[in-house]
C-alpha cells in the first residue's frame, strides 16, 4: 500500500461522493458497486496522518471485527482472533518490541532507498515506529494453529486470517479510520505473546495501528495495468 493517502478529493464514509450505480444480479446490494470499488482502490497505508489524540471507540472496533468475521477460513474453521490493545502501558511495551524489530531494518531501508517515493515511505514507517505507543489502538490479528513446512497447511493457516484482517482494515477505512499492515514486532512474537497472554498454539500475523484519519482524502495509487501482471491458461505472456 502507498503511504498516507496522498492528495485527492475528500470522500465520505462510503468512499465516494458520486451517485451510486446499480450492479448486475449478485453484485453488491443497494447499487453500491462504485462505492465498494472506491474503498478497495483507495485504502492506503496510513502512518503519519493518524489522529493520535482521538480515541477509537470500542463499538467501532467491534463492528469492524464483526464484518471481518464474514471472511473465508479453511474448512470454515473460523479460527480468527483479534487482540486489541488500548491500555497505554501495554501499548508502550508493545512499541518497545516493535522498535527493537524495526530499528536495523528501517535504517538499512532508508540508506538504500531507491528514489524519493521509497524514502518517504520508509520515513513514514520510521515515524510510526517512533510514535507507536501514541496510536489509539494496536490490533494484533491471530489465528489458531502454527505454520509448518507443509505448504498446503501453512497456506490454509494464513489464508484463514489474512482475508479477515484485510476486511477489518477495509471496514475501518469506510468509517474514516486509517490503518497500516505491519509485521516488524514478529521478530519478538514470543515476547509479545507473553505480554498479551496469547497461547502457544496461536499465531500472530501482524500489528495493525488504528486511528482516525486526519488527511483530506484518499486516492488510488499508481499501479501497472492488470494485463501486465495477469496470465491466462499458462505462466507468461501469450
Model confidence over 175-214: pLDDT tens digits? 999 999 999 999 999 999 999 999 999 999 999 999 999 9
pLDDT, mean of residues 93-104: 93
Residues 192, 135: Cα–Cα separation, whole Å: 17
pLDDT of residue 9: 35
For residues 88 and 110, give the distance between their C-alpha atoms in angstroms, rounded to a whole number: 29
180-209 exposure pattern, b = at least 16 Cβ within 10 A, e = fewer: bbbebbbbbbebbbeeeebeeeebbbbbbb
Instruction: Specify whether the CB–CB gap between 101 and 132 falls below 8 A.
Output: no
Strand partners, 3: 45
Average pLDDT estimate for 93-105:
92
Q: Residue holding cell 462505492?
A: 35
The whole-model pTM stands at 0.85
Using CA atoms, how far apart are residues 150 and 67, in angstroms rounded to an integer?
30
**Domain 46-214 maps to which CATH number in 3.30.465.10, 3.20.20.70, 3.40.109.10, 3.40.309.10?**
3.40.109.10
Q: Is the pLDDT of residue 1 over 50?
A: no
The ranges assigned to domains in the chain are 46-214
Alpha helices in 159-231 (DSSP H): 162-174, 189-196
**Per-residue confidence band for 112, with pLDDT thresholds at 50, 70 and 90:** confident
Amino acid at each position: 500500500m502507498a503511504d498516507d493517502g496522498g492528495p485527492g478529493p475528500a470522500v465520505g464514509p462510503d468512499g465516494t461522493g458520486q451517485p451510486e450505480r446499480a450492479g448486475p444480479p449478485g453484485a453488491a446490494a443497494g447499487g453500491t458497486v462504485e462505492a465498494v470499488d472506491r474503498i478497495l482502490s483507495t485504502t492506503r497505508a496510513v502512518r503519519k496522518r493518524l489522529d493520535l489524540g482521538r480515541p477509537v471507540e470500542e463499538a467501532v472496533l467491534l463492528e469492524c471485527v464483526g464484518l471481518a468475521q464474514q471472511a473465508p477460513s479453511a474448512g470454515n474453521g473460523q479460527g480468527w482472533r483479534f487482540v486489541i490493545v488500548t491500555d497505554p502501558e501495554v501499548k508502550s511495551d508493545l512499541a518497545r518490541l516493535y522498535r527493537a524489530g524495526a530499528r536495523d531494518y528501517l535504517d538499512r531501508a532508508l540508506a538504500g532507498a531507491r528514489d524519493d517515493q521509497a524514502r518517504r515511505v520508509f520515513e513514514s514507517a520510521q515515524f510510526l515506529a517512533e510514535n507507536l505507543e501514541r496510536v489509539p489502538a494496536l490490533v494484533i490479528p491471530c489465528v489458531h494453529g502454527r505454520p509448518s513446512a507443509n505448504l498446503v497447511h501453512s497456506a490454509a493457516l494464513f489464508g484463514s486470517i489474512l482475508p479477515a484482517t484485510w476486511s477489518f482494515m477495509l471496514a475501518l477505512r469506510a468509517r474514516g479510520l486509517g490503518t497500516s499492515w505491519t509485521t516488524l514486532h514478529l521478530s519478538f512474537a514470543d515476547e509479545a505473546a507473553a505480554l498479551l497472554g496469547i497461547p502457544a498454539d496461536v499465531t500472530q500475523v501482524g500489528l495493525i495501528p488504528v486511528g482516525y484519519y486526519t488527511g483530506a482524502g484518499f486516492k488510488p495509487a499508481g499501479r501497472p495495468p492488470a494485463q501486465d501482471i495477469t496470465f491466462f491458461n499458462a505462466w507468461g505472456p501469450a
